[in-house]
Each structure stands twice: as C-alpha cells, then as structure tokens.
Structure 1
C-alpha cells in the first residue's frame, strides 16, 4: 500500500446517470455527456503541488465512488479533504464522511468549501460544535478561500505540528472541537493560477474557468459579496495562460466562465474578449452577464470570440422591485442589452424569482410581460428564499417580513403564493421555454450534434413531464392573460 499525503474529493451537485435517463426518455439521439471537471479540485491540487504535498483526487463523489474505494484500498492517505462548494444540505456532507469512515475509520477527514464556511458563519459556537459532531469529520476550514489553509493543515499532519497554530479552522482533539479566532481572508487571486497539466488524465470537453472572485455589487437578496469580500480579478495574461494550457492538452471544447459578474468592468471584459480572438482559441463558451452594461462592440466581440450563450440575472421585470433589490439596473437597459444579444444570435436564459418584499401580483405580471416582450430563448423562475444573512433582513420591520428560507411572509405576499405562482407560470408563459436541463449537460449536447431547435424540443418535453400534474388556477390564468 502506497503512502500519500492527501486525497481530494469533489462534490458536483449533479446526477449524471439520472440526467441521462431523463433526456433519453424524450430523445432517441445518442448522448455523450460527462460531469465537468471540479474547479475546487483544480485550485486545491495546484496549491498542494506547489507545496510538494502528494495527492490524488476524485472529481465527483456522486459518480466516482468505485474509484474512491479503489484509491483508498490501494493507498494510505494522511488526510482526505472534501470540498462542499456545491453541497446544498448537511446530509450530503454527512453521507460522504460516513462512506469514507466505512472504508477507513482512522483517516483524518477535512471539510472545506463555500457551503460549510457559510453554515459556520450562520451559527453560534454551540450550534457549530453540534453540527461538527453530527457530520463527524476531524477538521473544518472556516474560510471562503481555503486553499492555503488546507496546505497548512496537511503540512502540520505530516510533521506532527500543532493545529492550534493554524488560523480559521475547527479541529477535533480528544473528542472535543477546538478553534483559533477567525481572521479575515487575505486572498490574492493572482497567486492562484491553475496548473491544468496536473489533471490532464481527467479533463474532458467541458471545463470551468474562474477569472475573478466575489462580486462588485451588493444586491439585497444575495450574501455572496458579503461572504467573499472585495471583487478581485486575474490579470488577462493569467487567464490567457490557463486557456493556452487547455488548448495544448487538447481535450477541452467548451469553457464555462464561472464569474458571478463576468462583464464588469467593461474595459477589462473587452480586453479579455480581444485576447480570446487574438489567440484564435476554438473554444465555445458561456457565462453569466449583466446585459445592462453591454454595448454593440462588446456583443460583437463576444460572438467573434466563441460565445454561444449567456445567463442573465434579471430577477424581475418590474423597476420598483429592482430598486428594492438594489440591482443597479434599469428595465430599458435590460431590453437594450438583450436586443443586442439577439441581434448577434447569442442564446439567452433569463433568471427570475418571485416573492421578494414588495412583490405583488401586479409586479409578477410585469415580469411575465417583460419575458413576453424580450422573448429570451429560455427562462428560469423560482420562489424567493429568505436568508436572514442577506441585507433585506435589516428591513424586516418595514416590510413586516417574517419566517425564513422557504417559509416566509411579508405585507404583500407569502411563500405559499410565490411557490404556487412559480409552479403555474411555466404553463402560462408561451413566449419562452422554462430551462429544465442541467446547464453543463445542455451545452455539451449543443456542441455534440444537437441543434438549438432539438434542445428546445427536449426542454419542452421535459417541462411537459415536470408540470403535467400542475393545474393552473383559473383566477391566476385570467389575471395573467
């Protein structure tokens, strides 16, 4: 049995086999889809390699459990580090720990990533320790940027060093959890270029790339920028280097630029697009975008550089609601930017939610009219989720806001109505198609022989299945006519 320092485990949040079966139920064309490479694994592995820490990795815990068992039976690891970035609840973290413990009850298990860091931030000290005991891991990284902390932990475990000297962690010693006072993350993204050659054997056609961290905006419904600090960006040359690596390896066809706000500031965005064009990269790419900032020059460069699609966080089609959300956007700018994307045949998906404080049936109708007006290729609509960590919680008294998460009310709407509307609107809106398929698989199919029309037909059939038992309330139907 070979001794190694660390096994990295990624969690994708996807179920590849389930998605295949769903698509095959409505399409007879052969499928060639895969889970994307896990970006957290790429960053963590690159950092460990720089520190001369030996490691292996599992890209997807959900799909690679046989490989996990094989690696753990053939290697003795000092630690196993699990990234929780795409976890949505504690049970999925707990399940991973349980399975690992069944294979090796003594290995040190480290939990990190955005999900666990956000959960730690929400809890008091007693609640945290109850949570840690429930999950059953040995060390928890209390940081939204945990690469360097993981490196310190592994080096300490190798040398027998004192974990108490490492900032931003909780660790178990003699069945009790200990911690050092958390300090703010001093994260310099420019120190974290990925060495993609380390992962060449597992790279596929679809790869995520991050060119910035955090977000320059502070929307009242979002906690992301509060958690992740100042918006910071890679130099264009660093982005170019990563893309050149992927081109040299020769497997990647599709790039997902994962930045929450890829096209801000616009001068950097245009410079990046010109870099893509100058290198004659043949990648097709998609990203999030704030279309209110787009101009014709930018959209022309997007098309020339290989952009196939963008996801647009409109959130609402009512200006008053956008103001309450602190979206820093005007409806007329949404319309102008979206029209440019359609002019250059760039696929659009509009993202919306229902129920934010101030929402009424009238403002929801404005959102429906907005969708019918701009006619995005796809849209996605869901009920608002009330997270007490978001800025809107500071105005709870003003809006008579009560409850939390999926069960809430305020003086103009409650979660029951928002859930009802989100379920029924896809049967009312006919000008666009509700997005159903997982994004990563959608773009793989778009670049593997499926036409845009074929994918739209698949999406519509999936929606028929999903919403077949939804009966539209006559009053709602008449109101939105």
Structure 2
C-alpha cells in the first residue's frame, strides 16, 4: 500500500488526494476539476497522428480513454472514421484494450480497429501456441494487430489500404483475422528516420498541447542492462539531428509551452551530443523548463552540470536501481554508486530536483545490499525516491543466467538464491520506513512525471515537494486510522491547498452517481 495514503478516513491515490483538497479549496476556480497526468498529450498518440497527417490522411488523437469518452463518442459519430488505432504503450494486460474496443464497437461498428504497441509484441513473444494467441486476439476483439517495434509506417500502409478498399494481405507486420484464427502477413522491419518523422507541432491546437508536452530526441537505449529487454525490442540507438530538435523546441516555445519532458531513455547519452543539445538550448534561451531521464555515470564534468542548469533543467529521473556495486555489476549497469552520489550532489548544488528509482530483490539482493541502498538514500538525499520489487522478465538478459543464479518463476512471482518476492516486498517496506532524508513518490496513477504536469498547472515546485512530504507523512499512518498524526497530516494537506494556485483542469470530475 505504498501508492495510497489515508486522508480523512479514505485511502486515496495521490492524484485523488490533490483533486479532493484542490476542489474543496476552489483551486482552479471550480469544484469539479479532475487533475490527471493524462492531460499531458500522449506522445505515442501525437506521434502517430502527426505521421498520418503529414502524409495526407486525416486523423484525430485522444490521450486518455476514460476522461475523454464523450469526446471519442463525438469523433466516432461526427467524423465517421474508417479506422481506430489503439496504441498500448502503457498497457500490461489486454483488459484496457478490451474496454476501449467494446466502446468503439458500440458507437461505430463499421470502424476497423487496429491495435499495436508493446502489448502486442509481448503477447506474440510470450505465446508460442498460435491457437492460444488467436484466443487472446479474439478476446481483445480488434480486427488487426500490428507487430513491429516502430510501427508507424505499417499503420500508414494499413490505413491507406483500408481507405482505398484494398486487402491488407500485402501489408507486412500485421496479424489479420481469418476464419480459423489470426495469421501473420510477413515481417518487414522498419527503420524510420527520426528527422523525417519529427512532429510538426503546428498541426495541433493550443488546447491539445497545454503547458506541458513530451517529446523525444532519440529512439531505444545505448545500454544493455540485464533486467531490461527494451533495447532488444527497440533496436539500435537512433538519434535525431540537433537541428531537428532545435526546430521542434523553438516551435513549442513559440506556442507557449512551459515544460518539456524528454522521454529519451538516456537523454545525456552520447555525452558529446548531450553537451551540444544543452549549448543549443542555452543559445536559444527558450522560455521553458525541462525534465528528463539522466544517467550519472555518463556526465561527470562540472561544465555539463552548469549547462543543464543554464538551459532550464528543472528535474531528472535517476534510474539508479541499487546502491550496491555488486548488484549494479550483475545488472550490467556500467555504473558505481559513487557516480550516482556525485551526480546527485552536483544536481542538487544547482537547484535541480532529483528522483532516484530503485529495484529491490534483483538476484544477489540480501539484507546487506538493502542496507547499502538505505544508507545511500539517507546520505545522498535525492529530493524524491521510490523502491519497487524486481519484475522477472524472461525476455531480459538475466534470464539466460537463471540456472546459475537459481532464479525460478516470473513476473512478480519469483525466488532466487538470496531472496524471494515476499522478501523483496519486506525490503521495500524497510527502505520506506528507514529513509528520512528523501520523500517517497508512488507509481500508481502518478509517478515522477506528475511533477512537470503539476508545475505546468501552476503549482510551485516547492509546493509540489511539500505536498509529497505531507502525503508521505499521512501514508506512514495508513494502518492507524484515526491516529492524531494522520489527522494532523490531513489538516496540513488541506491548509497547503488554500495557498496553491492552479489553472483549471482539462477534465471535469467524474460523476459519483
């Protein structure tokens, strides 16, 4: 229960806590705001829409299903779309896809539904039996499934074929419905240039963009951490040219965007390019702050940290994973805890907010390595932190060492020579209980990326830090409803929102009837 806190007798996720107190205080000028990180445009949806629009097709995008159901219904009724494409960037199971497909079918049965993204890739890789895979596809009930790590060119070909009334049998990278199940057309790997598919932000309205926008300057990751299969799925690292990035950032700055979130997995890699990016941003003197993932082992000189501050860096996500050098070596992180410590010190000295993310229970983890993580957090003191149990992915490189490291199970049901999932959950709780110099950020419906969203809505970053501290204080009394300390934390949260000024939310509060 490290994703909810007990306030006024109710266990609520963080964003619901914000909505409760903000609406009560009249923040945003109304009592019906539904603040949600989904207000930040979904980059995958923006990217695919941009790709289609720039090639002569018509398309609308939707960032978030539940709050935008009425808008989706209007699009289906008014635009009479031939195709609805569902990207599964954030879907781990078929359940959300099933809900969306049912909604589209109910409102516009004639629309051909195409599903693509990581979920399809995961299902097709994990399900060796063609009949079982067809059953999963039938369960989701889409018409077409795209299997390709990039996929935008495949989507374009499929949509164009449907528009012309042509068969999809000649379009590669598709699973098509047959009388006896689903069959794959053929594989044709895509290699789309990031410069050629850059987003033309003029195609989107100010209302669609808002104050906070995500973008990317690279595809895939330069590293091969043993717990992660992303580089294998995404292919070789691809980089956009600095001039392409500059044009995008200038367009966003001119549109009044105030927060840029770079979703590159390793924004500061390669280091030389990162320095060029920073100098470009300083030269343009853009009127926005920026947020990104950051790898401490790849940036060590003080000049680069100075350029980060000068170019508007507000906060960074540090995927530290463990403070134990022995665990980092098993993870193939190519980094040592001392480098993370130095990086946090340099970032904090320049007023840059830091969020440290940890994995608990990776093979080799034991009580001593957990203590190393606790000691690191209490001495390095990043602004925020989170620790989550390791998720055992059989597609990750560490799986090849399962026999050697005595790893059994998968997902969140595993054990190995030095720990099991229950021990990892206990260790996570011990870290939460023992760290006193950093503030917890949950993962459910919130995460670090809520920070630029809240700042974009008008919350001062100092207020965001205070909110997290008060919410964590309330969370520490989750098991003691009615305790005076729990009541005091709730009172202080309410008082905080009497001073917060935020712009109205894009979405209205869902009905409780």
TM-score w.r.t. length of structure 2: 0.85
Q: Which moved more, 1:25-34 or 1:322-331?
A: 25-34
Residue 90 (str. 1) matches residue 94 (str. 2): yes
Question: Secondary structure, in 3 states, of the residue corresponding to 1:217?
Answer: coil
Per-residue displacement from partner, 1:262-317 (whole Å, max 9, x unpaired)?
A: 00111100100111111110111110000122221111000000000111011000
Q: Which moved more, 1:185-194 or 1:409-418?
A: 185-194
Q: Which of 162, 165, 171 is 2:167 aligned to?
A: 162
Deviation at 1:25, TM superposition (A): 4.4
Q: Which of 3, 10, 17 is 1:22 aligned to?
A: 17
Corresponding residue number in structure 2 for 1:286: 291
Corresponding residue number in structure 2 for 1:301: 307
Q: Which of 428, 445, 451 is 1:442 aligned to?
A: 451
Task: State the distance in 1 between where 2:296 and 2:474 align.
Answer: 32
Task: State the distance in 2 between where 1:275 and 1:453 align.
Answer: 28
Corresponding residue number in structure 2 for 1:8: none
Q: How does 1:178-327 map to 2 (within 5 A)?
A: 178-200=183-205, 201-250=207-256, 252-294=257-299, 295-327=301-333
Corresponding residue number in structure 1 for 2:354: 348
> Does the aligned pair in 1 maintain the 2:370–2:431 contact within 8 Å?
no
Deviation at 1:403, TM superposition (A): 0.7
> Does the aligned pair in 1 maintain the 2:14–2:471 contact within 8 Å?
no
Structure 2 unaligned spans of 5+ = 1-11, 481-513
Structure 1 unaligned spans of 5+ = 1-16, 472-481
Residue 100 (str. 1) matches residue 104 (str. 2): yes
Residue 172 (str. 1) matches residue 177 (str. 2): yes
Question: Secondary structure, in 3 states, of the residue corresponding to 1:300?
Answer: helix
Question: Secondary structure, in 3 states, of the residue corresponding to 2:169?
Answer: helix
Task: State the distance in 2 between where 1:468 and 1:222 align.
Answer: 35
Per-residue displacement from partner, 1:192-218 (whole Å, max 9, x unpaired)?
A: 110111112411001001000000100
> Does the aligned pair in 2 maintain the 1:292–1:336 contact within 8 Å?
no
Per-residue displacement from partner, 1:81-121 (whole Å, max 9, x unpaired)?
A: 11111223210111111111111223110001223223322
Deviation at 1:469, TM superposition (A): 3.7
Deviation at 1:451, TM superposition (A): 3.8
Corresponding residue number in structure 1 for 2:132: 127
Question: Secondary structure, in 3 states, of the residue corresponding to 2:290?
Answer: strand
> Does the aligned pair in 2 maintain the 1:357–1:401 contact within 8 Å?
yes
> Does the aligned pair in 2 maintain the 1:293–1:337 contact within 8 Å?
no
Corresponding residue number in structure 1 for 2:54: 50
Deviation at 1:49, TM superposition (A): 1.6
Shift of the 453–280 alpha-carbon distance from structure 1 to 2, 3 Å rule, reads closer
Residue 136 (str. 1) matches residue 133 (str. 2): no
Task: State the distance in 2 between where 1:353 and 1:382 align.
Answer: 5
> Does the aligned pair in 2 maintain the 1:118–1:227 contact within 8 Å?
no
Per-residue displacement from partner, 1:19-59 (whole Å, max 9, x unpaired)?
A: 54311446658258551011112221122123211122222
> Does the aligned pair in 2 maintain the 1:424–1:470 contact within 8 Å?
no
Aligned residues: 454
Corresponding residue number in structure 2 for 1:432: 438
Q: Which of 448, 455, 473 is 2:464 aligned to?
A: 455
TM-score w.r.t. length of structure 1: 0.90
Deviation at 1:467, TM superposition (A): 4.3
Per-residue displacement from partner, 1:428-476 (whole Å, max 9, x unpaired)?
A: 21111111344343223335553444322311232244443459xxxxx
Task: State the distance in 1 between where 2:457 and 2:108 align.
Answer: 40
Q: Would you identify which runs of 4 or more consecutive aligned residues in structure 1 move more than 4 Å? A: 17-20, 24-29, 31-34
Task: State the distance in 1 between where 2:249 and 2:235 align.
Answer: 26
